[in-house]
């Protein structure tokens, strides 16, 4: 299945407005101090707090964090998809040099689905149930400029074929309810690829799918990224997914970046206690089988209860006096974290912490056979 | 699809037969009710009663009487009224049908247009002042009783302001569409508006809440992420899926109104439609007319339901092949 490039009339790679002051070696998307606030009856809740990150061309950025850490809100606010009138977004998000936050709705609309496409979590409800899968793709194809109906339909079949729907020509007129979850997600991806977007935002695209389908969808995303040179922002709460596919990782907690860096670095030498917790709670084949999987104690924090200083302090095993101060992102240029723990001792602290977590998760009665075969 | 429609129509026919039997049994097999005594009048002597029984065939067994009644009503179409001797039932109904049909169809067009416009308008302007205003207007429409509104409209257009602002309003009554289309519409204008008020309010409210739900659905978010216009999202995605319950509601309302539920409007505006006919027949316990009217009404309700089911399958691919 070769990935063909669709010649879109009048535009290559979906640039609408002439790009000012942007050269290809700058990041494709550069978000600075993004803040998203929701005004409620009583007070103002900050869902995303001065978040900065960037996505380079042809790079996969994995954004990871528990539910409620502001991953989805961040991405939706970039595309102005939050319709809540009580929501205010501030900061700057330069996409090819254009600020998305300050962009008027109309210009934003012409970017959506063309230069920036987005895939959502639940494929079961992502398609309007009364229209065929083909109709949805054709709508996307014709959303930006005129495409003759017949061409659009032919292209829809091609796209379905590209994302691996068997018998695409026969299935193009099926309704969403006749597709399985994995097929629907493929159809949604096909739709998102219709205009060869420069940036694809995938919001937990595999969460609602079973593990086999999950792997196929990830493989599909990786292949598309490689062959189209698109950048992908992959939102997930699954460290396993990140480890398979991401080039760089952004770990979020309570609407803030707590650690960011190249995948290898973050996985090999994670610096933030929250990242340790996320990595520690991944079950591994071949590791000692414990009764209980170590978890991060407590619950994800609700955005209206964030304490002064480090948001993670209440759940952190290594809390100390300094944590009441808000830690900035610090460290080497590309691997940074927001934590006050002494940088030199981090890995040592982590090792002791892992032992403690294992002990807490497994109070002295680990399955003997598994304990013996622990490889270490 | 053909098979689906065929099956649905067959079921409808069965329902009609069952309803006719039920109506028949209610009138003839209810213990303590003697139709002959009603026909013969108060204090009739036994000889008259016997004569009436014989003349009306009331001395024969129930199934035979049912079949005879149905034969006169459906096959020979010469069933006559018990009260006004010699007046045939079928022509009476046929005369009343166009009046009710004109009234209800016109009103239905009005309330659908109004209701959908109001519902979409309110849902798309959520959070602005327009939304609660439309909702409030809808509640007012729903709350005003038709007979009161009708009388007030009559009072204003026929009496108080008849010599100034509303001098163009014709007197109450009905003019056939084929006789004079302009007068037909003019005579029905206020009845249409009055009847449509109530339903437009209901439909606007229901559609608004359906649309508000739809606009928060994932597929609307997907549509927005595609970069299509707000208008297209509203009409092609949100409205299209919200129409499904509206269609089923419309089928039921329309069927019931055609079947005689527009009685109050008909009486207030002096339109001798089906509702009025049924009401008069019930008052006089005129069984043949009641039977005719009930069957006619049931026919429309059942037909409307069948059409709704078929339309449903057209609107919602998920019910097809169910």
A112 contacts B318? CB cut-off 8 A: no
pLDDT per residue as tens digits for the range A164-198: 899 999 999 999 999 998 899 999 999 998 998 99
Calculate the CA dihedral of residues B144, B149, B151, B155 and round it to 10 degrees: 130
3-state DSSP assignment of residue A371: helix
List residues bridging with A260 in a β-sheet: A250, A336
Q: How many residues does chain A have?
A: 376
Q: Residue A164 and residue A10: Cα distance in Å, rounded?
A: 29
pLDDT per residue as tens digits for the range A231-274: 999 998 888 888 888 999 999 999 999 999 999 999 998 989 89
Nearest-CB residue to A128 (from B127, B223, B315): B223
Quote the pLDDT of residue A366.
38
The count of CB pairs under 8 A between chains A and B is 67
On the question of pLDDT at A369 being above 60, the answer is no
Nearest-CB residue to B218 (from A126, A130, A175): A126
Residue B159, Cβ density class (10 Å: 0-12 exposed, 13-18 middle, ≥19 buried): exposed
Closest CA to B259 of B299, B292, B291: B299
First to last CA, chain A: 42
pLDDT band at A288 (very low <50, low <70, confident <90, very high): low
A137-145: average pLDDT: 93
Mutate to test the interface with B, among A87, A114, A130, A198 (most CBs of B within 10 A): A130
Query: Which tokens in the block code for residue A268?
Result: 């090999």
pLDDT band at A359 (very low <50, low <70, confident <90, very high): low
Give, in order, the Cα–Cα distances in Å from A111 to each of A14, A24, A31, A118, A230: 7, 18, 17, 11, 15
On the question of pLDDT at B180 being above 80, the answer is yes
On the question of pLDDT at B37 being above 80, the answer is no
Instruction: Give this prediction's pTM.
Output: 0.81
Chain A residues near any Cβ of chain B (below 8 Å): 79, 81, 85, 109-114, 117-118, 120, 122, 125-130, 132, 139-140, 143-144, 175, 177, 188, 191
Mutate to test the interface with B, among A73, A104, A129, A199 (most CBs of B within 10 A): A129
Q: Residue A164 and residue A3: Cα distance in Å, rounded?
A: 11
Q: How many CA atoms lie within 13 A of B152 on its CB side?
A: 8
Q: Residue B167 and residue B157: Cα distance in Å, rounded?
A: 8
Long-range contacts from A339-346, C-beta under 8 angstroms, 24+ separation = A339/A258, A339/A271, A339/A272, A339/A273, A339/A310, A340/A310, A341/A273, A343/A271, A346/A269, A346/A271
Mean pLDDT check: name the lowest of A80-89, A179-188, A281-290, B206-215: A281-290
Chain B residues within 8 A of A140 when measuring between CB atoms: 226
Quote the pLDDT of residue B114.
95
Closest CA to B233 of A81, A10, A85: A81
B228 contacts A139? CB cut-off 8 A: yes
Nearest-CB residue to A113 (from B218, B225, B316): B225
Q: How many residues does chain B have?
A: 322
In terms of DSSP bridges, do strands A116-119 and A98-99 run parallel, antiparallel, or are they unpaired? unpaired
Query: Which tokens in the block code for residue B118?
Result: 């109001």
Show Cβ contacts of residue B38 under 8 Å, excluding neighbours closer than 6 positions: B82, B285
């Amino acid at each position: 299945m070769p990935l063909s490039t669709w010649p879109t009339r009048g535009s290559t790679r979906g640039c609408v407005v002439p790009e000012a002051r942007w050269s290809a070696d700058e990041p494709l998307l550069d978000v600075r101090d993004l803040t998203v606030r929701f005004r409620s009856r009583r007070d103002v809740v900050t869902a995303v707090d001065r978040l900065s990150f960037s996505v380079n061309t042809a790079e996969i950025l994995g954004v990871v964090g528990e539910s409620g850490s502001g991953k989805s809100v961040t991405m939706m606010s970039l595309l102005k998809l939050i319709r809540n009138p009580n929501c205010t977004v501030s900061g700057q998000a330069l996409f090819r040099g254009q600020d998305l936050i300050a962009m008027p709705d109309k210009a934003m609309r012409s970017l959506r689905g063309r230069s920036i496409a987005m895939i959502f979590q639940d494929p079961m409800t992502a398609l309007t149930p009364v229209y065929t899968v083909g109709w949805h793709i054709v709508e996307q194809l014709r959303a930006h400029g005129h495409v003759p109906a017949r061409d659009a339909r032919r292209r829809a079949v091609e796209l379905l074929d590209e994302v691996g729907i068997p018998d695409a020509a026969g299935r193009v007129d099926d309704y969403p309810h006749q597709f399985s979850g994995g097929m629907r997600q493929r159809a949604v991806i096909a739709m998102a690829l219709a205009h060869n977007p420069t940036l694809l935002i995938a919001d937990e695209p595999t969460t609602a799918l079973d593990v086999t389908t999950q792997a196929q969808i990830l493989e599909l995303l990786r292949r598309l990224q490689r062959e189209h040179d698109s950048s992908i922002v992959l939102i997930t709460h699954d460290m396993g997914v990140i480890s398979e596919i991401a080039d760089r990782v952004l770990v979020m907690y309570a609407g803030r970046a707590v650690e960011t860096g190249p995948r290898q670095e973050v996985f090999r030498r994670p610096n933030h206690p929250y990242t340790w917790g996320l990595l520690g709670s991944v079950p591994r084949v071949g590791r000692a089988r414990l009764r209980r999987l170590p978890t991060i104690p407590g619950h994800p924090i609700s955005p209206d209860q964030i304490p002064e200083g480090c948001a993670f302090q209440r759940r952190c095993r290594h809390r100390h006096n300094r944590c009441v101060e808000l830690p900035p992102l610090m460290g080497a240029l590309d691997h940074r974290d927001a934590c006050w723990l002494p940088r030199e001792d981090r890995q040592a602290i982590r090792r002791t912490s892992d032992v403690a977590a294992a002990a807490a998760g497994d109070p002295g009665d680990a399955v003997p056979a598994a304990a013996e075969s622990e490889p270490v | 699809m053909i098979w689906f429609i065929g099956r649905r129509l067959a079921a409808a026919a069965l329902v009609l037969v069952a309803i006719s039997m039920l109506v028949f049994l209610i009138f003839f097999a209810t213990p303590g009710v003697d139709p002959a005594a009603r026909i013969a009048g108060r204090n009739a002597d036994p000889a008259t009663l016997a004569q009436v029984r014989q003349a009306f065939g009331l001395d024969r067994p129930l199934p035979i009487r049912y079949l005879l009644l149905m034969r006169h009503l459906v096959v020979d179409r010469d069933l006559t009224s018990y009260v006004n001797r010699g007046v045939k039932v079928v022509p009476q109904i046929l005369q009343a049908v166009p009046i009710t049909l004109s009234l209800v169809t016109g009103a239905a067009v009005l309330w659908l247009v109004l209701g959908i416009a109001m519902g979409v308008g309110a849902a798309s302007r959520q959070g602005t002042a327009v939304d609660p205003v439309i909702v409030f207007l809808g509640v007012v429409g729903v709350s005003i009783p038709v007979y009161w509104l009708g009388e007030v409209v009559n009072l204003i257009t026929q009496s108080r302001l008849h010599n100034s602002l509303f001098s163009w309003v014709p007197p109450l009554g009905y003019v056939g569409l084929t006789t004079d289309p302009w007068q037909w519409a003019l005579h029905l204008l206020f009845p249409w508006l009055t009847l449509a008020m109530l339903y437009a309010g209901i439909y606007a409210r229901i559609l608004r809440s359906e649309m508000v739900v739809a606009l928060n659905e994932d597929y609307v978010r997907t549509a927005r992420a595609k970069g299509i216009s707000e208008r297209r999202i509203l009409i092609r995605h949100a409205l299209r899926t919200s129409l499904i319950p509206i269609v089923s509601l419309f089928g039921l309302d329309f069927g019931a109104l055609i079947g005689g539920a527009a009685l109050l409007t008909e009486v207030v505006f002096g339109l001798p439609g089906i509702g009025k006919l049924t009401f008069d027949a019930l008052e006089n316990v005129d069984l043949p007319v009641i039977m005719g009217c009930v069957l006619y009404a049931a026919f429309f309700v059942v037909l409307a339901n069948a059409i709704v089911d078929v339309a449903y399958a057209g609107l919602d691919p998920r019910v097809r092949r169910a």
